[in-house]
Amino acid sequence: MHSWDRTLTLAGIRDRQLRDDYTRQRVLVSAYRRHAYVAVRLLLPPALVPHVIAATAFMHRTDTLLDEGGPHAGAAYAAWEKEVRDGLATGQSGDPVLRPLLHTVSRHPRLRGHVQEFLAGAPMDRDFTGFADEAEYGRYVDAYSLPAFMLIACLLLDPDAGADATRELCRAYIDGSQRLDFVNDLAEDLRDGRLTLTQEALERHGVSREDLENGRESAAVRALFTDLLGRARRDLLASRRLPALAPAAHRAFIRAVITLEVLTADAAMAKGTGLLRGSARPSVPAALRVLVREYVRRGR
C-alpha cells in the first residue's frame, strides 16, 4: 500500500490546498468508516482512492446536515445545497469538503449527475416521518438511498456496462444494505425519535413501536428482525454479480464490501433481540480475513 502522499501524487492531485483538503477528508472517513476505509486503501488503485474518499465525505456531510434537528436545521441544509449547486456550476468553492469533490467531478464527470440526483432526493430523508408500508420504503430507497450509493458506485463501475443491469444490481445491493442498517441501527434511531421499520411489517408480526422503544425482547420482535434481516441478506447476495460490471482492478473492493455487509447481517441475526440495545458488527478477525483474502486475490 502506497503512502498517502504518494497516493495523492498518483491520483494527479498536486495543488497544495487540494492535497490538504483530501487529507482532511481521509482523516474524517477513516474515523467513522474504519473497515470501509481500510478496504479502499488496500483494494482500490491508488489513483482512485482520494476520489472515493471525497465522494464519501460529501455524502456524510450532507447526511449529517439532513439529520440535524433544531430550528435552524432547514436553513443550514438549504445553504449547503445552494453551495453545492453553485460549486457544480462554477467549479469553485471555499468549502474544504466541496473543493475536493469538485476536483473529483472534474476528473470523473459522471459524478456530476449523481450529485444532482442525490440532492434532488435529499428532502425524502429530511422530511422522513416513517414508512406506512413496503411501497413507501421502496420510494425512499429509489429517491435517496440509491442515489447516495451511486456517488461511489459511479466511480467503481464500468461506464460501458449496461444501464439496466447496473441499476438492477446496485438497487439489490442498496436495498439490502439500507434494510440491514434500519434494523441494525434501530436502537440509535429510536433514541433519535425515528422509527425506520414499516408499520406494515410491525403489524404483520404483532409488534408495536412501544415494544421496540421499551426494549421488549419478545418472540414477536425476534420474528420481525429475522424476517427483515433475512430479506436484507437475500438482496445482498443477489448483488454478488455487481463486480462483473466493474474494471478488473475494482472487483476485489466491491466483493469485499458486499461480503462485509453479509457478515454484518449474520452478526445482526445472531444478536437477535439484542439489537434493541445496540448494533451488531462482524468480528475484527472475520473482517480482516475478508480483506486479506481479497488483497491476495487482487494481487494474483
Q: Give tens-digit pLDDT for 170-198.
A: 999 999 999 999 999 999 999 999 999 99
What's the whole-number mean pLDDT along residues 272-294? 95
Asked if residues 255 and 294 have their Cβ atoms less than 8 Å apart, the reply is yes
Output the pLDDT for position 298.
Answer: 85
Asked if residues 36 and 73 have their Cβ atoms less than 8 Å apart, the reply is no
Place of cell 467531478: 105
Output the pLDDT for position 139.
Answer: 96
Q: Name the band, by pLDDT with cuts 50, 70 and 90, for residue 69.
A: low
What the block records as the C-alpha cell of 119 is: 440532492
**Least reliable range by pLDDT among 1-10, 79-88, 134-143, 222-231:** 1-10
What's the whole-number mean pLDDT along residues 84-94? 95
pLDDT value at 32 more than 90: no
pLDDT value at 203 more than 70: yes
Q: Which domains does the chain have, with CATH numbers?
A: 1-108 (1.10.600.10), 128-300 (1.10.600.10)
Long-range CB pairs of 213-220 (<8 Å, 24+ gap) are 215/276, 215/277, 216/276, 217/272, 217/273, 217/274, 217/276, 218/273
- Give percent of the chain above pLDDT 70: 98
Place of cell 472515493: 52
Q: Name the band, by pLDDT with cuts 50, 70 and 90, for residue 33.
A: confident
Measured distance between the N- and C-terminal CA atoms of the chain, rounded to whole angstroms: 15
Compute φ and ψ for 273, nearest 5 degrees.
-70, -10
* CA distance linking residue 292 with residue 253, whole number of Å: 11
**6-17: per-residue pLDDT in tens?**
999 999 999 999
**Least reliable range by pLDDT among 28-37, 87-96, 97-106, 266-275:** 28-37
Q: Name the band, by pLDDT with cuts 50, 70 and 90, for residue 73.
A: low
Q: Is 70 exposed, middle or buried (0-12, 13-18, 19+ CB in 10 A)?
A: exposed
